[in-house]
């Protein structure tokens, strides 16, 4: 695994190969990260964005990429500038069907998020990425109330870290965690580098990276399983942000 020269999400990581699908999608290259073609396209992208055109994924490149990815998530901008957003009334949310839920959990989402998830799941299923009678791509976490997250924070004593946050995107009802499988010995939501790398290499995750924006979803890059419905128009607006605005988001 490649050495990661910086900790973009606040935790030392074994390597940046976990982010390879997102990087390739961002710079517009489909070849493997260890090929001359990838290095050439990356160098051109770096030069276009005012970075040293080394063709290597260095610290500055990773931080800029993080800014690009985070800028696609309105929750990040809103929570930083307007405080933690209020949660919707649970009666306004839609409930996922039992077949859409992982392990029989009750999953609530904003109606438009659930509708978009169903469209995306149907498209992935149509391409043979979700076997019939499989729990793959079922949802294991949707809306979580502030009270629920607060109680979990108090119980586990690790809030404001990567694994738990007292102000979580899940409180909006637009965020969902989906089952992409798991590396042997891990759970679908394990943030261990081994599991995250495994998930990043799955055909379903790679398909999501390439196609989820068509359905209005953006990925939280640190967690391959975490997707937020932001709407197609919001993603287009994020793409129009200036370089300075994108960099600011990453800080």
- C-alpha 79/C-alpha 11 separation (Å) is 21
Percentage with pLDDT > 90 across the chain = 69
Q: What is the mean predicted confidence (pLDDT) over 217-241?
A: 92
Tell me phi and psi for residue 199, to 5 degrees.
-65, -40
- C-alpha 109/C-alpha 112 separation (Å) is 8
Q: Which domain holds residue 196?
A: 71-249
Instruction: Give the pLDDT confidence of 59-83 residue by residue, as tens digits.
Output: 999 999 999 999 999 998 888 777 8
What average pLDDT does the chain have?
A: 89
CB 178 within 8 A of CB 26: no
Q: What is the pLDDT of residue 163?
A: 46
Record the pTM: 0.91
For the chain, counts of helices (H) and of strands (E) = 10, 6
CA distances from 31 to 3, 20, 189, 198 (A): 20, 10, 28, 18
Instruction: Give the pLDDT confidence of 132-160 residue by residue, as tens digits.
Output: 989 999 999 999 988 777 676 666 555 65
Closest among 66, 103, 84 to 145, alpha carbons compared? 84
Count of structural domains within the chain:
1
User: Does 132 map to a domain?
Assistant: yes
CATH, residue 210: 3.30.1380.10
CB atoms within 10 A of CB 177: 21
User: Does 200 map to a domain?
Assistant: yes
């Amino acid at each position: 695994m490649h050495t990661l020269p910086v900790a973009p999400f606040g935790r030392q990581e074994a390597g940046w190969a976990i982010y390879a699908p997102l990087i390739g999608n961002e710079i517009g290259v489909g070849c493997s990260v260890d090929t001359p073609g990838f290095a050439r396209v990356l160098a051109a992208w770096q030069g276009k964005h005012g970075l040293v055109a080394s063709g290597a994924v260095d610290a500055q490149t990773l931080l800029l990429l993080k800014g690009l990815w985070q800028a696609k998530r309105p929750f990040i901008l809103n929570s930083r500038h307007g405080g933690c957003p209020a949660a919707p009334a649970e009666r306004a949310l839609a409930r996922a069907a039992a077949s859409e839920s992982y392990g029989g959990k009750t999953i609530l989402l904003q109606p438009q998020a659930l509708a978009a998830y169903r469209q995306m799941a149907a498209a992935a299923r149509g391409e043979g990425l979700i076997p019939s009678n499989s729990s793959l791509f079922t949802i294991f976490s949707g809306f979580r109330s502030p009270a629920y997250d607060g109680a979990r924070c108090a119980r586990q004593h690790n809030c404001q870290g990567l694994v738990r946050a007292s102000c979580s995107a899940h409180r909006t009802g637009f965020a969902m965690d989906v089952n992409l499988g798991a590396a042997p010995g891990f759970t679908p939501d394990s943030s261990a580098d081994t599991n995250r790398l495994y998930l990043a290499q799955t055909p379903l995750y790679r398909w999501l990276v390439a196609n989820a924006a068509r359905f209005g979803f953006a990925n939280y890059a640190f967690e391959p399983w975490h997707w937020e419905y932001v709407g197609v128009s919001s993603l287009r607006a994020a793409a129009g942000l200036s370089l300075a605005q994108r960099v600011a988001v990453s800080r």
